[in-house]
Amino acid sequence: MATLTEPPAPVPTAVDIPTYHQIPETSADLDWADLATLDLSQFDQPGGKSQLAKQLFEAIQKIGFFYIINFGLTQEEVDRQFSIGREIFNLPLEEKLKFRAELEKGGYNGYKPSGLREISPGVFDNTEIFNIPKFIPALERPQPEIVNKNRPIIEGFARHIHDEIVRKLLTLFAIILELPEDYFLKVHRYEEKSDCHLRYMKYHRRTEEENKKSNGIWSKGHTDFGSLTLLFRQPVAALQVRTPEGAWKWVKPYPGSITVNLADSLHFLTNGFLKSSVHRVVAPPPDQRDVDRLGVLYFVRPEDDLELRPVVSQVLQRLGYDQITDNSAVGITAGDWVKARVAKGVDRGVARSDVGDQPILNGVVAKYYD
């Protein structure tokens, strides 16, 4: 007798959530940073990789920020992530808190409510964060229904970033350093444990009074912990980068682009040749001040057990970056560095409230700026 089998459950490709509509750009005349734009579609063209590497080499001499375009995702696919982020933050606080990150233990996957960080005396941050780790069995964790329902879309997005964007960027850095092209790929494998994650982030609008009290600062100047950070951005001006001369410049959110910044691990691995630039988030200009600013970010971090020891590269030797300037960083693994920074930020209950050098691990400091 034939047995009746259940029909397979349909794989959800999309969920019924409203489309995300981006707001208009600011018309304010701001002091924008002058940053290079890399066209990633050149990567697979003949001679394209070396041309891009040359462009990137020149672009990052002063500042570790640049843009990429033609990275293989449509605006609709990016906006879908914004709508998922919006739905996550629209959940009741009680529901979100079921997925709270273990920040005190150096974990950050899951939900961070706003108000944990003191920005200036009496003013706390206005930022909610939801971090989703890599989709590998070792990092599986319970997720809200909205994430589970959208998993194929979220996972597809994250894997595209890793396979098609991060792969190309890490290859370009290896070419710049005259290392084997897969040098950094070997320590950024998707299936291995690392702190790479996709982040949805919401900065709640602030009143004029709150902005005044905190000098308009929404997130203090800081560097990121990992290798690279990719920012898919609303057209809201708020991000600023600190130039080597110490000036703050606005980082323009160009439509169709990803803003990329280099982070601490690449700085350590290259003795400071690749610059982990200080950046911060401030109140948007008046025509965008009433917006709850949503962000979709991807943080790239090396595999947990990678020791942050400078690589041996002829380029670093030629350019004078071959002497280890900071011995205390040697021996720290990428995983320890992140955990120490996350835990340090929260155990005092006042993460990023202090400015200047903050000791993190083995005497290594992280700098915070107003």
Ligand X SMILES: O=C(O)CCC(=O)C(=O)O
Of the candidates 118, 128, 210, 224, which one interacts with Fe ion according to CB under 5 A? 224
Residue 239 touches which of Fe ion, ligand X, none (Cβ within 5-8 Å per kind): ligand X
Is residue 64 within 8 Å of residue 264, measured between CB atoms?
no
Q: How many residues bind Fe ion (CB under 5 A)?
A: 1
To ligand X, the closest distance from the beta carbon of 253 in angstroms equals: 8
Could you give the string, one character per residue 173-212, with x where binding to Fe ion holds by CB under 5 A and - elsewhere? ----------------------------------------
To Fe ion, the closest distance from the beta carbon of 158 in angstroms equals: 18
To ligand X, the closest distance from the beta carbon of 126 in angstroms equals: 12
Tokens of residue 134, six digits: 């890599």
* Closer of 129 and 177 to ligand X (Cβ): 129
264 forms part of the interface with Fe ion (CB under 5 A): no
* Closer of 52 and 132 to ligand X (Cβ): 132
Residue 296 touches which of Fe ion, ligand X, none (Cβ within 5-8 Å per kind): none
Q: How many residues bind ligand X (CB under 6 A)?
A: 8
Residues 235-294 that bind ligand X (CB under 6 A): 239, 279, 281
Residues that bind ligand X (CB under 6 A): 201, 224, 231, 239, 279, 281, 295, 297
